[in-house]
Amino acid sequence: MKPLLLTMLWSFGALGQSEILNNYVQEGLKNSQTLKQQNFQLQKAVFALSEAKTLFKPNVNFNTTLSTAQGGRKIEIPIGDLVNPVYTTLNKLTATNSFPQIQNTSEQLVPKDFYDVRVKTTMPLINAELKYNQIIKQDQITMQQAEIQVYKRELVRDIKLAYINYLKATEAIKVYENALKILRESERVNESLIKNGSANPTVLVRTRNEISKINAEFDNARGNQKNAAAYFNFLLNKDFTEKITLDSLGKDGLKTEQTEGHREELDKIQTGISINRQLLGMNQSYKKFKIGASLDLGSQGRFDQIASADKNFFVPNAFVLLGVSFDLPVYSFGRNQLKIKQSEMEIASLDAQMQQVKNQLDLQAEIAKNSLESAREIYESKAMQVSTAERYYRDMFRRYKEGNLNFIELLDAQTQITTAQLQQSISLYDVWTKWVELERAKASFQL
């Protein structure tokens, strides 16, 4: 057992470069449903940026209004009062009735049977808010990219830890198998001694009781192995019962020194600061005027007019309307200044958070490094205990067969070796776990 554990320990330095485990990591990154969701959010941010860019371009709309009305105010047109005196004079001068009298008329203010058809084109000429909005959308893409990288690192760590836990459960099974092998040998020797009258039958009962106890632990270890395999396959988005390939991990030795990588967590905060600076600029741009242009091409009139032979949608009802808008805020009771203050406070808060997160990340890396060194020292101590327990058991078993040792002392030696091997196995995988935690703390894994 000891050579196997030592080989695994010294081979662990290649864990980060292990081909089998690296393939599992890449498979997990490829199959992750959460990563797919994150990429959809990234694509959404890209589309939002494209949308922001279109705000600088003309916007064309087709508008049609058909209306009819009855009643309402009227505009009185005294055409009879104006024309009839003239017509009366003309009839007298010509001694004819060629100029008949005309009645006053009125026009309904709300038009009846009226249509308005137009193609309206609008375009901003000067608008500072649109510029800031485009920069914000670009920063949101950067933030989402950083978010994806952060999740990838978390997923890589989880996959490696899950793999280590599976190896840990598998190693525990091997320890219990070895313990059962020792107890079976003890059972065989006790049966032989009892037949020869050299031992009390109760020692066989005690041995079989220990075998039952180890069998229970063995079953529990197999359950842990199944659970570890299910979680590992879950991270890879595979069937929970999928077979897992055990990796020999090479023989490069454990490397505690890891290259300091790039921390995307800081990128997220820095991008958040950039976004809030753009929001601040947008809020401050209220002082700047906005200019826009519009162009209307259309036709409007009454239905009954376009029905005549000499009239249609274009003659004489077509029109062209060109407009230029100018917008400059004058007074808003300090609302804009309050928005500016809010943006300034948010930037100050993020600046403080940036420094705090830097310190936290540095602390995380330092703690992970110290924990790894401590785990290595514990493992080395446990390795010595296994060696001592194995030697002690061999001596006790030899003396027991010679009849110079009672069964209780032999059983104690058997318990010691099983306990020592389990503790060594646990301490070994603690080293592996701390190594992965340090890799995550330093962001040294190359995505």
Q: Quick one: pLDDT at residue 12?
A: 45
What does pLDDT average to over the chain? 84
* Greatest Cα pair distance in the chain: 166
- CB atoms under 10 Å from CB of 357, counted, come to 15
Q: What is the pLDDT of residue 301?
A: 84
What are the φ/ψ torsions at residue 390 (nearest 5 degrees)? -65, -45
Confidence at residue 194, expressed as pLDDT on a 0 to 100 scale? 76
What string of H, E and C letters represents the secondary structure of 149-212?
HHHHHHHHHHHHHHHHHHHHHHHHHHHHHHHHHHHHHHHHHHHHHHHCCCCCCHHHHHHHHHHH
If you write DSSP's letter for every residue of 97-122 in order, what string do you get? --S-----EEEESS-SSEEEEEEEEE
Averaged over 79-98, what is the pLDDT? 87
> pLDDT digits over 144-155, tens only?
999 999 999 999
Band of the pLDDT at 252, cuts 50, 70, 90?
Answer: very low
* pLDDT band per the 50, 70, 90 thresholds, residue 307: low
Give residue-wise pLDDT tens across range 43-78.
999 999 999 999 999 999 999 988 888 877 888 888
With the C-alpha atoms ordered 139, 142, 146, 148, is the resulting torsion angle positive or negative? positive
How crowded is residue 321: how many other Cβ atoms within 10 Å of its Cβ? 11
Q: Which tens digit of pLDDT belongs to each residue from 338-363?
A: 999 999 999 999 999 999 999 999 99
If you average pLDDT over residues 284-309, what whole number do you get? 85
Collapsed DSSP state (helix, strand, coil) of residue 80 = helix
- Name the burial class of residue 444, with classes exposed (0-12), middle (13-18) and buried (19+) by CB atoms within 10 angstroms of its CB: middle
Q: Which domains does the chain have, with CATH numbers?
A: 2-63+125-290+332-442 (1.20.1600.10), 70-110 (no CATH)
pLDDT of residue 266: 93
Identity of the residue numbered 311: K
Question: What does the pLDDT average to over 166-175?
Answer: 85
Rg of the chain over Cα atoms, rounded to whole angstroms, equals: 44
pLDDT band, residue 199 (cuts 50/70/90):
low
Letter for the amino acid at 305? Answer: Q
Q: What is the pLDDT of residue 13?
A: 46
pLDDT confidence of residue 192? 78
What integer is the mean pLDDT of 420-438? 82
pLDDT score, position 445: 86
- Rounded to two decimals, the pTM is 0.77
Split at pLDDT 50, 70, 90, the class of 8 is very low
Q: Report whether pLDDT(410) > 60.
A: yes
Helix (H, G, I), strand (E, B) or coil at 443: coil
What pLDDT was estimated at residue 57? 93
As a whole number of angstroms, the distance between CA 90 and CA 97 comes to 9
Q: What average pLDDT does range 249-253 have in this prediction?
A: 39
Q: Which residues, at least 6 apart from 412, have a Cβ–Cβ distance to it below 8 Å?
A: none
DSSP symbol at 125: E
How high is the pLDDT of residue 229?
A: 94
59-67 and 74-77 beta bridge pairing: unpaired
